[in-house]
Structure formats: C-alpha cells, structure tokens
Structure 1
C-alpha cells in the first residue's frame, strides 16, 4: 500500500460500498469523463463543420486525433496502473481535461484544434485506462461495465439531442463547455470512491493469462469500435445527406440513444447468467441488420430504427467485450489494454470514414465498409466468449 493509499484508507470520509450500484455509477462517470466526447462525436463533427466552417474531412481528423491521443494515453495506463495511486492521478487528469476543454472554445484553426485535442485525448485516455483498471478490481466487472455504457448512452443521447441545436446560435462553445462540466461532475464524485487496491486473488478461474483468447478479444474490440464509430461520427451528416431535416436527425439520435439504454441494461440484469456466447451472437446478428438499414435512411422511420437497433447492440456487446478482457489479469492491466485497443478503434473509424468520404465513396460506401468490419468482429469475438463460458469466467 502506498503512502497516499494509506492516507485514503484512514481518512474520515464517507465512501460508497466498493461493489454497490452507487460505486458503479461513480466509477462510470470517472471512466466516461475521459472519453465523453466520443458519445457526442456526431454533434462535435457537425458543430465543427457548421459552426467553424471546417471541411468534413478536417472535422473527422480532429475527432480522430482526439481519440488517437486517448489510445496512447490508455496504452500508458497499462504500464503504470500497478505503480501509481489511481486517485491523485485521476484528479490531475480531470483538471487537465477541464482546462483544455475551456481553452478549445477560443480556437478557430483546424490544425491547432488537432494538436490541442490530441493532447486532450492523451490525458483522457490515461484517465479511462486507469478507470478501467479500477473497475477490473470490483466483484461485478460485467455489471459495472454495463452501468458505464448506460451512463454513456443516457447522457450522450441528451448531448446529441440538445447540442446540435445550440451550435448555429452559439458556435462550438456549448460542445466544449458540456465536456468540461462532465469532467467537473466526475471530479465531485471522486472522493466518495473506495481505495480499490489490486486484488490478491485471481478475478476469474482462468488462471494465468490466455494469450490467444485475449488477442482475439482485443481484435474484436478494435474492429467493433472502428466500424461503429466510423458511422457514428458522420451519422448527422449521413441523415442530412439522405434528405432528412436537421432537427429530426438530432431528435432521432437523442431518442435512439436513450432507447439504446436497453443494451447495457441487459448486461446489468443478466451478467453472465446465460453465458456470453449466445448474447454476443444474437447481438451481432442484430447489429449487422441494423447497420444495413442505414441504406434506407431517406425514410425517417428507417433512420430511427437503424439508430435504435445498432445503439442497443453497441452498448450490450461492448460491455461484454470489456468484461471479457478484464478476466485475463488480476491487477487490471488487460482491462487497461482493452481501453487502449478500444480507443484505437474509435479513432480509426472516423479517420477511415473521412478518407472514404473524401474519395467520393459516399455514405453508401461507408455503410458497406462498416458492415464488413462488424462481420469480421463477430467472427473473432465468439471463440474467446465460448472459451470463457466453458471455464466459468465470471
């Protein structure tokens, strides 16, 4: 136990039960704070295009830079989660995020925004990686990741519903203020969390690290996140390109994101009671079907259905994949590694999507590429899921 952890352990301050729902919610806010811009990425990309006059390709590059920075921050977390006290590091990261978000309000240059948001991503990714490692030290890993996705989808839905309407009036300021306020909320919750020291006993019955299933799980996370995020980053532009009204698109996305809360709710309710394999198989089949429906986005109903369907499965599948990755290590390093790979996928999606749109492949081509990525992800994820189910990884 470090000196800092001894101090926290002895402090006379009320803390939530380490494996209770309040703690899960607060851990979810902490993990989300470093990456909340992903949940409102569609609003950010649209805001940069319509508010600052930046090209769609440049706006995608800014979003990609933010998430690539997060990937490297999450990678750094893999190597330091056992060596540093997570609480003071989290505090420093949150203050850094707040400062950069407020500073971003005054930037007009796409090149400068790329650099600044890259730095923001590094700090945020470090925070997320550390948070994932802490979550891996709880008794209810899958449930906590379900709560995490529930928080992200719920507040993300509010963001994509409200923020795009403010951009034409106030510019990009509301986008970055919203991010800063979320970090401030996470900062306020931090003192109420328990110590979450590394465990002495294995988290699951898998024993040592199973490298092949771990590698397959990480690859599945990368492909799944990249394919989904490539579409999500441009989902507002996609709807408008298919002839839908901007207000309808914003409302549809917000409502769909709230409907998508059913995905993480499934994880919270079921956990691993029925195993991961059957749920992942069903979830991925629905994901492919929902993504294909985006080809019919000229119909408002089809656009809504596609967003609702893919949103539900995104939250469900990702919670299980993150929970799977957390089973391979007792200190949270594989969970932090999953955070790195997840961010890498989230960054690569908008980057590739911007290139596809820049090459005049159109949104129809973008949808088809996303379908291929999702299909590959499904093939890769099912084998480690079945193996963990057979070994009883909880």
Structure 2
C-alpha cells in the first residue's frame, strides 16, 4: 500500500518535517518532561525524586536503544524497524495508563525508552543521509518545541481531572500521527550518497568523542533544570497561572532558534554559532537564581528555549558529519539520551540534598564544559569545509 502513496522529495521541506515527527515520536516524553514529572508526582502522590527516577528510566532506556542502533543500523530495514517501534511504543503507552506502582511503571517506561531510543537512532541515521542534516535537525527542534509547548501548557491542568493516564495517552497519540506519516518518506538507501554534498571523510575518533561529550554535557545541563522547571517556579512563589503560559510560550518561541538554524545552516561554519549560543546559554541559565522575579523567570525560560533549540542541531550536526552511513549520528543520539536521562536524575538527587540554587549552579557548569568540548571538533570540521571549498 505504501508503495502507491506519493513520496516526498528526499531533501525537501516536507521530508524534513516527516523525519522530524518520526524522530520526535521516540522522545516526545522529553519535550513534555516537566509536565510528566510534575504530573506523576501530583497524580501518584510520590516525591519529585521518584517521579524523576521514572522519567530518567524512560530516557536511560532510550539511550540503550540509541546505542543499539549504532551497531544495527547497517543491518536494519529502517522503514520496517520504525513501523515496529512505533507500534510497540503505542502499546506500552496504553499499558502505562493502567499502572500506578512506581517500580512497575519504572520498568515499563524503561522498556518504552529502549524502543523509542532505537527509533530515534534509526531516524537520526536516516537524517544523516540527507543533503543538509543540520537543517533537518533544526526542523526537528521546531517540531519538538512547537508540539512540546502545547503539551506543557495543556497537560498539567488535565492531570487532576483525568489522572496520569492523560500523559501516556498524549504520547500514544503522537506516535500514531508519526506512524501515519511514515509511508510518505522515500527509501534513503545507504548506497546512495547525497548529491552535491561534501565527500565522505574517514571517522576521526578524537573529535567525535569530544562531540559526544559536548552533546552529553549540554543535554544534561539543560534537562537537569528543565525537568524541574515547574517545581522551581512554584518554589520561587510563582503561581501556575504564570508558570503554565510561560513554559508553553517559551517552547513555541524556542522554535525561533531552530528556524535560524534552518535559514543559516553552516554558511558561517559551526564554531561561531556553537560558541556564541552556549556562552549566552550559560549566562541566561544563571538568571534562574532570581526566579522569584516573574519577569526574570519568564525571560530565562524563553532565552534558554531559543538557545537550546539553536545549539543542539549544530551539536548533532557535528556528530552526523563524521559518517554518512549514519552510525555517528546514531551515536550522537545515544549521547543525547544519556544527557537527557542523567540531568533529571542528578537534579533529583541535588534537590534532596541541596536545593534549587545547587541545581542551577551545576547546570551552568555542565553547559560551560559542553562549550569547551565542542570547540575542537567544530574548528576541525570548519577547516575541512574551507579546504573542500577552496578546491572547488
């Protein structure tokens, strides 16, 4: 049936949108992490650290799935793998609506994460086969922030009415949408190099490992704070009437950062965009210390959302640039999941033993370290790109 359907152009805007939905389906819970953690805590009556553990289990499972994709991507028929993963995720989400036990739910979400992580790894590998992976990753963030903003705004008020089931039903619904869009994608065979793209270069492991570290640290620093951003606002004395619209608006405006990536691409290289955006992110994240001032809380949320959406496509693009088959892109996805999982787990521990000021300080340190780690591979790839252009 899918063979009779029209296929979108491999490197066109429609393909970027569909690939973004496919990748987002595997990690949509990350985009509504704050609503998920707060909803689980409120709906099940558990401590924030327990809710953070459930959420982290979901992302650690995703990391395992993404790591498996690194080794399996050459041998998988990606369309069949993506279809099976989406169906599996929908099934697990529906089962999750009936579970109230924290241990059982933790195990179940770990399994969900493993399936979703494999899906993301497959999607990232396919994105690496496109002509402009940085721009597709930018579109990915547009989708994530746009849909995530709706989730953060709409889901928390629904939990007291419908319980935690509404959270998992939302995840299942998004996976169903991605499943319906999947048949419209072209095949993206490994054997077909992107026309007009840069020639394939051997994998340079030292800069690749630096890139992996940068992605891990960046995602951990951002998500460690973002997962508890609702609780941070409440602790600072802000009402839900301020927090909810702020997070929704911040996510929608965060898409501006991704749009800039789509427009700019790599015309200015990767070093300057990465260095400037992460440096500003460090400053804006530190501003959360004054979340007791509503204007600062609002501005910091909007600022970090835009900068996050701008920087991470370039970091993932760094990983994708090392291998057109998609293995290093899948590795970047694995490190991203490790960071997204470790951030909330670390912050939950810090909240039990230190408080929000310590969480903010640690996030700032992780982000700064990420910027330092990213400079080496970014400079290397920029020099290679200039050398290629000079010979054309």
| TM-score for both structures, normalised by structure 1 | 0.96
CA shift at 1:357, angstroms? 0.9
CA shift at 1:130, angstroms? 0.3
Matched ranges for 1:50-199 at <5 A = 50-199=42-191
Aligned to 1:26: 18
Residue 285 of structure 1, aligned match among 251, 272, 279? 279
Is 2:28–2:148's contact at 8 Å kept on the other side of the alignment? yes
Residue 322 of structure 2, aligned match among 328, 345, 350? 328
> How big is each residue's C-alpha offset from its partner over 1:235-290, in whole Å with a ceiling of 9 and x where there is no partner?
10110011000221111000011111111011000000111111111101210111
For the residue of structure 2 that corresponds to 1:392, the secondary structure is helix
Is 1:81–1:133's contact at 8 Å kept on the other side of the alignment? yes
In 2, the alpha carbon distance for the partners of 1:127 and 1:185 equals: 15
In 1, the alpha carbon distance for the partners of 2:243 and 2:324 equals: 43
Residue 358 of structure 2 is aligned to residue 368 of structure 1: no
CA shift at 1:105, angstroms? 0.9
In 2, the alpha carbon distance for the partners of 1:239 and 1:252 equals: 10
In 1, the alpha carbon distance for the partners of 2:186 and 2:312 equals: 25
In 2, the alpha carbon distance for the partners of 1:330 and 1:231 equals: 33
In 1, the alpha carbon distance for the partners of 2:293 and 2:286 equals: 13
Aligned to 1:383: 376
> How big is each residue's C-alpha offset from its partner over 1:96-136, in whole Å with a ceiling of 9 and x where there is no partner?
11111111111111111100000000000000000000000
CA shift at 1:199, angstroms? 4.0
Aligned to 2:6: 14
Is 1:129–1:339's contact at 8 Å kept on the other side of the alignment? yes
For the residue of structure 2 that corresponds to 1:108, the secondary structure is coil
Is 2:288–2:360's contact at 8 Å kept on the other side of the alignment? yes
Aligned to 2:301: 307
In 2, the alpha carbon distance for the partners of 1:169 and 1:69 equals: 29
Residue 30 of structure 2 is aligned to residue 38 of structure 1: yes
Matched ranges for 1:133-282 at <5 A = 133-201=125-193, 204-205=198-199, 207-282=201-276
Is 2:149–2:247's contact at 8 Å kept on the other side of the alignment? yes
Q: Which runs of 5+ in 2 are unaligned?
A: none
Q: Which runs of 5+ in 1 are unaligned?
A: 1-6
CA shift at 1:12, angstroms? 2.9
| TM-score for both structures, normalised by structure 2 | 0.96
CA shift at 1:204, angstroms? 3.5
In 2, the alpha carbon distance for the partners of 1:156 and 1:314 equals: 14
In 2, the alpha carbon distance for the partners of 1:137 and 1:201 equals: 7
For the residue of structure 2 that corresponds to 1:260, the secondary structure is helix
Is 2:200–2:323's contact at 8 Å kept on the other side of the alignment? no
